[in-house]
Structure 1
């Protein structure tokens, strides 16, 4: 596959990551639903079997009462009645009061009768909500009903543990998956950071040679009597100084930037002054500041790049005609807010969350990395925030930068 097609495919994959996340989430939900459904299916089968065992237990009691003295009663008592070693049961009279007979309950020995009966009543209340009791009918020799008792029961510990198993299993899987996702995310982020740093430093290295040559030619023109007074030289010097500053920015990416307590209005004004002569004359830029001594911890080179990038984006959004208002004001939590507002074409609601993603652009040309780098500079290097405060299609956009004072 040609390189440009592969890069396009990778970029499309990145842009569609939300769709992929939704698809993965739906598959995960499907797996959870199927797992829980199958487990409940097995639990219901075992629950039905336990109900049948308790019913057989009740029928065995009836049979023993009807038979009286019979040699087969020992087998029934041992194999059916006493053979139940897992299902907790309590025998109660017709009114639901415990008779004192029970099996497989963790009750201390030698408990006073009053306390025992109260404990059995509490257990019966819980058993009644868990399972329907099974009736035991006692008949006389004429097959007439003499009295009725009830068998209350809990599900066995094994069945109850099995009912919790899918949730324990899924919780373990989710915890492991979350830890694995975080580990891979950190690893991927670290790898991306290394790529960013490598590209930036290589770019700075490649720009260094021609920049040095251009600076030498500028000094040559300044030394020549025929050209030293040329009006273009000061602007050429500013552009070369700007290129030198850009080279420094790229070469310093990856290292901890030096933050200084600088005047925010002054930094913004310097960036606007430089750009004003290099953008359309039909674009008007105004700066308003609530207080002249608004300072923040920032790196002048990196911060000016962010301001210039936002202004250039605003100029493109207005097609070179319109106004850009920059408002600087103090805020709570010892921060400074910088709002950059244009009256351009705005951003749709669907794209507001995407504007800072690598590769996202509405221009016919461009890499879609400007706002990504701006976000990285403000949030990673300056510990601040940058976001779309407000945007309305065909009405304009406001970006807000939050810096620590």
Structure 2
């Protein structure tokens, strides 16, 4: 009795240690994910602040340069007015030359039109070589139309004749500066996107290495007790006092454990894919599973697929996905409820849909958005890896989709698996 009590204490202590280590790993992974998300937000915020700062500062410089160009054109207009209105014998050519040089220096396109609307002075507008007078006139009119839209005309009063006007556009330098903040913003966003891809790729690679190592170590640890269990099965079969059906059921579980061990040992390797009947795989596995969960959980399968409908899959891995979803459903229902499985293939599509619905406690939208994240779990026990691996199996190996179709607190949850049907069917 003392030995038996000691064994129980030892088992309970081992279970407690296992749960504690599981919690530590889960919390560690969740903590790492939170830190990673925090770093991403910080980097994104820094890039955003740099972009906004660059945008505002560049706009400030653009506004100042635009004001300066306007002053230069205004001075040019004043100089032109003085020259036109000057008395014979007065010479303003030196002043006018200085003002023209200022306009030319900033490369400000400008056109002076007289009181009749005919262009008289044209500055910093390029014409094609050997352009005809008609082509030059078309180019001037195009620039005039653009200039009238960009800036108000600057009047040039001519004594006794009327009023002329100077129209102008922004210089090439000013146009470049207006575009610069948007180009800078695009470059920063692009750099941020590349950094995000590199960061995510490195994080996924690290997670994959952890999962592969954990899986292979688990497979290795399961090897020894499995060998012992097989020996016990043979012993039970050889003892006529023991019901043979017990040994058969134990053997089924041992075979199941061996298959799980094979799954873990093959993680990280490319799985072998075969054409399998979806309905047969799901139905057979559900029949196996329902005898190993609470008898108060009722399974209902509705098969709307064509007879023998097949997809390319790895049977062992696909059953693992179904097992993870169903066991999560059983936990969500606290061992009492119903699980409905619907298999269908909508017309005019090349897809097979598998909906797994439970009558459990459901979850919030926030929880549903994180349910596939490594280390996230709504249960007190577990490492929060089951659904993460299930999603990877469906998306990476079967090129399908796994997501929460719907969930409502107090009413239940529906997971949907989307597979691609064989093209030759």
Q: Give the TM-score taking structure 2 as reference length.
A: 0.85
2:199 is aligned with 1:219: no
Equivalences for 1:314-393 in 2 at 5 Å?
Answer: 314-331=329-346, 332-393=348-409
Q: CA deviation at 1:27?
A: 4.7
Q: CA deviation at 1:147?
A: 2.1
Cα distance change on mapping 1:326 and 1:83 into 2, 3 Å:
closer
Q: Deviations over 1:260-291 (max 9, x none)?
A: 11222222222222222221111111212124
Indicate which of 25, 37, 50 corresponds to 2:56.
Answer: 37
Q: Show the counterpart of 1:93.
A: 114
Q: Distance in 1 between matches of 2:37 and 2:171?
A: 45
Q: CA deviation at 1:111?
A: 4.6
Q: Which stretches of structure 1, 4 residues or more, deviate above 6 A after TM superposition?
A: 2-7, 16-20
Equivalent residues, number: 397
Q: Distance in 2 between matches of 1:46 and 1:193?
A: 55
Q: Show the counterpart of 1:12.
A: 31
Cα distance change on mapping 1:32 and 1:98 into 2, 3 Å:
farther
Q: CA deviation at 1:377?
A: 1.1
Q: Distance in 1 between matches of 2:267 and 2:144?
A: 71
Q: Show the counterpart of 1:146.
A: 161
Q: Distance in 1 between matches of 2:345 and 2:393?
A: 21
Q: Distance in 1 between matches of 2:136 and 2:311?
A: 74
Q: Deviations over 1:206-259 (max 9, x none)?
A: 2112222222232233334554x4543222211111111110000111111111
Q: Distance in 1 between matches of 2:149 and 2:220?
A: 77
Q: Give the TM-score taking structure 1 as reference length.
A: 0.89
Q: Distance in 1 between matches of 2:416 and 2:135?
A: 70
Q: Show the counterpart of 2:78.
A: 59
Q: Check whether the contact 1:98–1:120 (CA below 8 A) recurs between aligned residues.
A: no
Q: Check whether the contact 2:44–2:192 (CA below 8 A) recurs between aligned residues.
A: no
Cα distance change on mapping 1:3 and 1:333 into 2, 3 Å:
closer
Q: Show the counterpart of 1:142.
A: none
2:254 is aligned with 1:254: no
Q: CA deviation at 1:40?
A: 0.8
Q: Show the counterpart of 1:134.
A: 154
Q: Check whether the contact 1:340–1:398 (CA below 8 A) recurs between aligned residues.
A: yes
Q: Which runs of 5+ in 2 are unaligned?
A: 1-20
Q: Show the counterpart of 2:316.
A: 301
Task: Name the stretch that deviates more: 249-258 or 207-216.
Answer: 207-216
Q: Show the counterpart of 2:219.
A: 204
Q: Distance in 2 between matches of 1:123 and 1:334?
A: 57
Q: CA deviation at 1:52?
A: 0.7
Q: Show the counterpart of 1:164.
A: 179
Give the aligned CA root-mean-square deviation in angstroms: 2.6
Task: Name the stretch that deviates more: 242-251 or 125-134.
Answer: 125-134
Q: Deviations over 1:75-96 (max 9, x none)?
A: 223222245311111011235x
Higher-RCO chain (CA-CA 8 Å, sequence separation at least 6) = 2
Q: Distance in 1 between matches of 2:26 and 2:330?
A: 29
Q: Distance in 2 between matches of 1:357 and 1:84?
A: 63
Q: CA deviation at 1:313?
A: 1.1
Task: Name the stretch that deviates more: 343-352 or 213-222.
Answer: 213-222
Q: CA deviation at 1:317?
A: 1.3
